[in-house]
Amino acid sequence: MAAIIYTKTDEAPLLATYSFLPIVSAYAHKAGVEIETRDISLAGRILASFGLADDALTELGELTERPEANIVKLPNISASIPQLKAAVKELQAKGYDLPDYPESPSTPEQAEIRAKYAKAVGSVVNPVLRQGNSDRRAPLSVKAYARKHPSVNKPFGPTSKTAVATMGEHDFRDNEKSVTLAADDTLTVVFETTAGERKVLIESLPVLAGEVVDATVMQAAYLHAFLRNALATAKAENVLFSVHLKATMMRVSDPIIFGHVVRAYFTDVFAKYGDDLAAAGLSPNDGLGSILAGLPALANGAEIEAAFAAALASGPRLSYVNSDKGITNLNVPSDVIVDASMPAMIRNGGKLWGADGSEDDTLAVIPDSSYAGVYATVINDVKKNGPLDPATIGSVPNVGLMAQAAEEYGSHNKTFEIPDNGTVSVVNQAGEVLLSHDVETGDIWRACQTKDIPVRDWVKLAVTRARAAQTPAVFWLDESRAHDAELIKKVDAYLPEHDTDGLEIQILSPQLATEFSLARMRQGLDTISVTGNVLRDYNTDLFPILEVGTSAKMLSVVPLIAGGGLFETGAGGSAPKHVQQLMAEDYLRWDSLGEFFALVPSFELYADFAGVPAAKVLAAALDRATATFLDQDRSPGRKLGTIDNRGSHFYLALYWAQELASQTDDPELAAGFKELAETLAAHESDIVAELLAVQGQPADIGGYYLPDAGRATAVMRPSKIFNEALDAL
């Protein structure tokens, strides 16, 4: 029989699951709906790679190819190398027989170990599960709440110096070359040095007719020059220097770029001590924090630490992730994620935080220019027209091309740091060179392929959404960019396959699309952004954060190409801070609203596929309960003494039970929830008191990456009355 698969992930979403899933399981069981869990957490992926746990990710990947797939996917850690190492250390301490992560493999055994760990690093979950394109938007209840209780977007000051710095030339966008394959083929990627040495980087890359294949390179020498100039500009303008990358998703290229930024900022330190750091396995790609943590083991560690401190004192002022703890923008590559950090900075009037915790303008450095113009356009608009008003603005829902590892996010296994001067070529079976770049030592070269079936489905979904919402749809494609030019040809070919009569559908460059969408937003009008994979990621944070204050309150539906459904539950960018607060104060600020939204279409799909009408009643009642939840402002508060995540779950359970008890579509189900609804309402104040009573003291969950289930359950379910009422159901 079909089942809804509720994923076990990481950090705050995982802790919230210990509180919320018992509610979901109890209610679902009463309606005849089967709920199962699968562990796709970082810890679970590591253990699976070494045969110490079931490989749930592979299992779910296979499930997405079947029509019965019904997966509720919570945010998971897209692990950086420092996060991976920390997780391995914790698992080893718990008794798991895991080898250390080999920094520089020198034996076949170490190379095999590193390859196994690579299966858990970066965004390995999403490409497996996202076998469909993305339909992401703010539910009507969220927009209504935002208009009734608008968040605040601060104005930029009249003398604001905040700006975006990007390369524009010699980067991935500028050097991109693209081709659409006319027939099935098998490609080879070859690197030939200027000395004539030949190395095959990719021996066999199968491609199908109609697929788009790209290749590009970021030239390290020009990256260095750009960074030197950006550092000098930040110093001269006396603004904070901040870099904004996506080291979790672009898990090969962006940590390398991050390392270049660290080296550029601390040029003199690496000139003097670089060999010592390299010999100790301390890489700038892992961030300043990792280097500083490793210095005590070096004979001259104190001397090097003093050199870093002197460089921080004399260099451009850095932005800080946490000034109280001395965590700079350059400490950890995964700490500053561009799609979360840039909207938050814009929302905060263009200001980030300095070493002393005070706010200041910043030079936001986004080295690759592919999408930097989107943020620059928003900043210019807000400077000119003032902050966007959540009480009146329209919305920018997104239809995103992400199925089957589309575009840049599918480039991880085809990205290389070039070891010597030479040429990299993409060659077909006939020996013809399709794409080629001259490269130099240290350049970052990558290729990616975009399959044709997802593009066709993407165009279809865009038309479907435009028709359903009666809203203009804009394809964010730039004819002057090689990859986009190939996609424009496909969009032009596939749009006529659908009924577009009466619809407004345009193709605009990302900058022009941003201007168009912002102008309509200010008029209170909606505009569907139809984007590629990376812009999907960026836009589904950028606009929601400006519209409703967070991207965690979005409805994210992925209609799988095979016929099932993947239902995603919001962003996880702030999850680490929430866990830290829980462990310090037994208070979890994580908002599970995304989980509430995702379950509604999941239950509806289950009802249709499994033939369980009560599941649709469950969905409708949950939808109404969520509207009440928002109207009553039951999301977690911001400080101790207010309800946190656990309290918000109680209120959702109360309103859901009341809706189920009062509905008339299924009298048997109504009778089944009557007693629970009455019990929860009668004991509301007592239950809330139990939930508030635990706040303020440190909470022991038995681990960060792999909490102890018993301890985590005790922490996340502290109300005896509530637990007994659920058990009685």
DSSP string covering 278-293: HHTT--GGG-HHHHHH
Q: Which two tokens stand for residue 594?
A: 């995304």
> In terms of Cα–Cα distance, which of 658, 572, 588, 673 is closest to 622?
658
Residues 6+ apart with CB under 8 A from 22: 717, 723, 726
3-class DSSP state for residue 392?
coil
Pairing of strands 359-365, 240-243: parallel
Averaged pLDDT for residues 168-173: 97
C-alpha distances in Å from residue 356, one per residue of 308, 322, 328, 346: 18, 10, 11, 21
> In terms of Cα–Cα distance, which of 12, 35, 143 is closest to 648?
12
Could you read off the pLDDT of 58-111 as tens digits, one per residue? Answer: 999 999 999 999 999 999 988 888 899 999 999 999 999 999 999 889 899 999
State yes or no: pLDDT of 219 exceeds 70. Answer: yes
Residue with tokens 């303020």: 696
State yes or no: pLDDT of 262 exceeds 60. Answer: yes
Q: Which two tokens stand for residue 684?
A: 């509301």
Percent of the chain with pLDDT over 70: 99
Residues 6+ apart with CB under 8 A from 488: 475, 477, 479, 507
The answer to whether 455 and 410 have CB atoms below 8 angstroms apart is no
Residues in the chain, how many?
729
pLDDT value of residue 574: 61
- Residue 495: DSSP 8-state: G
Could you read off the pLDDT of 668-722 as tens digits, one per residue? Answer: 999 999 999 999 999 999 999 999 999 999 999 999 999 999 999 999 999 999 9
Stronger pLDDT, 575 or 556, i.e. the higher one? 556
State yes or no: pLDDT of 263 exceeds 70. Answer: yes
Instruction: Please give the radius of gyration of the chain, using alpha carbons only, rounded to the nearest integer.
Output: 26
pLDDT value of residue 82: 87
End-to-end CA separation in angstroms for the chain: 23
Could you read off the pLDDT of 639-668 as tens digits, one per residue? Answer: 899 999 999 999 999 999 999 999 999 999
Stronger pLDDT, 127 or 674, i.e. the higher one? 674
pLDDT value of residue 409: 82
Mean per-residue pLDDT of the chain: 95
Extract long-range pairs of 235-240: CB within 8 Å, 24+ residues apart.
235/315, 235/316, 237/161, 237/361, 237/363, 238/317, 239/161, 239/162, 239/317, 239/360, 239/361, 239/362, 239/363, 240/316, 240/317, 240/318, 240/319, 240/352, 240/353, 240/354, 240/360, 240/361, 240/362, 240/363
Residues 6+ apart with CB under 8 A from 195: 420
3-class DSSP state for residue 566?
strand
Stronger pLDDT, 40 or 249, i.e. the higher one? 40
Averaged pLDDT for residues 474-488: 98
pLDDT value of residue 273: 96
How many Å apart are CA 553 and CA 139, to the nearest integer? 8
Averaged pLDDT for residues 10-26: 97
**pLDDT category, 334, cuts 50, 70, 90?**
confident
Could you read off the pLDDT of 395-409 as tens digits, one per residue? Answer: 999 999 998 888 888
The answer to whether 16 and 587 have CB atoms below 8 angstroms apart is no
**pLDDT category, 387, cuts 50, 70, 90?**
very high
State yes or no: pLDDT of 377 exceeds 70. Answer: yes
CA torsion 427→433→436→441, rounded to 10°?
60
Q: Which two tokens stand for residue 177?
A: 């070359």
Residues 6+ apart with CB under 8 A from 246: 254, 337, 338, 339, 534, 537
Pairing of strands 473-476, 444-450: unpaired
Averaged pLDDT for residues 378-393: 97
Lowest mean pLDDT among 2-6, 148-152, 544-548, 573-577: 573-577
Taking each helix axis from N to C terminus, what angle separates 720-728 and 684-693, rounded to the nearest 10 degrees? 130
State yes or no: pLDDT of 1 exceeds 60. Answer: no
How many Å apart are CA 507 and CA 476, to the nearest integer? 6
How many CB atoms lie under 10 A from the CB of residue 313? 9
How many Å apart are CA 90 and CA 95, to the nearest integer? 9
Stronger pLDDT, 125 or 234, i.e. the higher one? 234
Q: Phi/psi of residue 216, each to 5°? A: -160, 170
The answer to whether 541 and 571 have CB atoms below 8 angstroms apart is yes
How many Å apart are CA 310 and CA 304, to the nearest integer? 10
Q: Is the dihedral angle over the CA atoms 94, 96, 99, 103 positive or is it negative?
A: negative
Percent of the chain with pLDDT over 90: 88
The answer to whether 415 and 446 have CB atoms below 8 angstroms apart is yes
C-alpha distances in Å from residue 377, one per residue of 517, 528, 634, 676: 11, 18, 35, 52
The answer to whether 324 and 357 have CB atoms below 8 angstroms apart is yes
How many Å apart are CA 325 and CA 727, to the nearest integer? 43
Taking each helix axis from N to C terminus, what angle separates 645-662 and 11-30, rounded to the nearest 10 degrees? 20
**pLDDT category, 573, cuts 50, 70, 90?**
low
**pLDDT category, 145, cuts 50, 70, 90?**
confident
Q: How many degrees, rounded to 5, is the angle at CA 9 between CA 33 and CA 533?
A: 100
State yes or no: pLDDT of 277 exceeds 80. Answer: yes
Taking each helix axis from N to C terminus, what angle separates 575-585 and 11-30, rounded to the nearest 10 degrees? 90
How many CB atoms lie under 10 A from the CB of residue 294? 17
Stronger pLDDT, 551 or 531, i.e. the higher one? 531
State yes or no: pLDDT of 571 exceeds 70. Answer: no
Kindly report the pTM of this predicted structure. 0.85
How many Å apart are CA 641 and CA 429, to the nearest integer? 67
Could you read off the pLDDT of 487-512 as tens digits, one per residue? Answer: 999 999 999 999 999 999 999 999 99
How many Å apart are CA 364 and CA 336, to the nearest integer? 11
**pLDDT category, 52, cuts 50, 70, 90?**
very high
> In terms of Cα–Cα distance, which of 111, 204, 191, 78 is closest to 417?
191
How many Å apart are CA 340 and CA 537, to the nearest integer? 10
The answer to whether 696 and 585 have CB atoms below 8 angstroms apart is yes
How many Å apart are CA 425 and CA 435, to the nearest integer? 6
The answer to whether 529 and 513 have CB atoms below 8 angstroms apart is yes
